[in-house]
Amino acid sequence: MFNLILFGPPGSGKGTQSEKLIDKYGLLHLSTGDLLRKEIANQTKLGLEAKSFMDKGQLVPDAVVIGMINSALEANPAAKGFLFDGFPRTVAQAEALDNLLASKNSGISIVLALEVDQEELVKRIQIRGQSSGRSDDSDPNVIRARLVEYENKTAPVAGHYAGVGKVVYVKGVGTIDEIFQSLCRQIDSRK
Ligand code: B4P
């Protein structure tokens, strides 16, 4: 199994690049952001709980997203590999993911970390906010809160995987295709 984590701050291009990578490598895309937005659209209990955090730019509690990922892994036993997008976002989530994969005799193959400066991130999120209908993309205070959550809780996840030599940093500024080619080079050199 080839399991890839696409890592980076909000707006770094994870969703954009994931779409291209799953096509090329036949991986199953697991985006916790997309899964949570689906729950919100369906007005489930989980969705209503998640919305109260997402609207403030805060991370949803670990137990909620770990449960969602567990269900998705269970539902796809024949997958040849997963692309995790927006997960894990805390060290506790990373540890839970490592345990879930280990129970399936698998593990993380590589963590590709997109590097984008903060000014560019804010610009991209605001542009997306004009058409996405996502309330967390429109309010400058919420965007700032998401970036603070990233620095405090998510950035340490890179350290968790760097400790086992799994992290590769990739420049996330440039055209979408240039960045895609850089990501593919890293994957191809490790497959
Ligand atoms: P996500 O859905 O993961 O939101 P995101 O981080 O903003 O998405 P992404 O980073 O994929 O955006 P992309 O770069 O593709 O999470 C939303 C919320 O859900 C979180 O704030 C949190 O509350 C909750 N959540 C999700 N997962 C969670 C977890 N594991 N634990 C707890 N809470 C969780 O796109 C950005 C924009 O840039 C796009 O418009 C794109 O067109 C543009 N773009 C991309 N590449 C570009 C390039 N090269 N040049 C110019 N623009 C580019």
**Which of 20, 56, 124, 128 is an active site residue?**
128
- CA nearest 31: which of 82, 67, 77? 82
Section 80-95 average pLDDT: 97
| Residue of 12, 39, 135 with the most ligand 1 atoms within 8 Å of its CB, for mutation | 12
Question: Across all residues in the chain, what is the average pLDDT?
Answer: 96
**Assigned CATH for 2-27+79-190:** 3.40.50.300
Residue 87, pLDDT score: 98
Arithmetic mean of pLDDT, 23-30: 97
Cis check: omega of the bond before 61, within 30 degrees of 0: no
Among 14, 45, 56, 123, the one annotated catalytic: 14
Q: How far apart are CA 83 and CA 81, in angstroms?
A: 7
pLDDT in tens, 128-137: 999 888 888 9
pTM: 0.94
| Nearest one of 164, 129, 171, 163 to 146, comparing CA atoms | 129
Mapping DSSP onto H, E and C, the string for 112-134 reads: EEEECCHHHHHHHHHHHHHHHCC
Each residue of 118-130: pLDDT tens digit?
Answer: 999 999 999 999 9
What are residue 31's DSSP bridge partners? 85
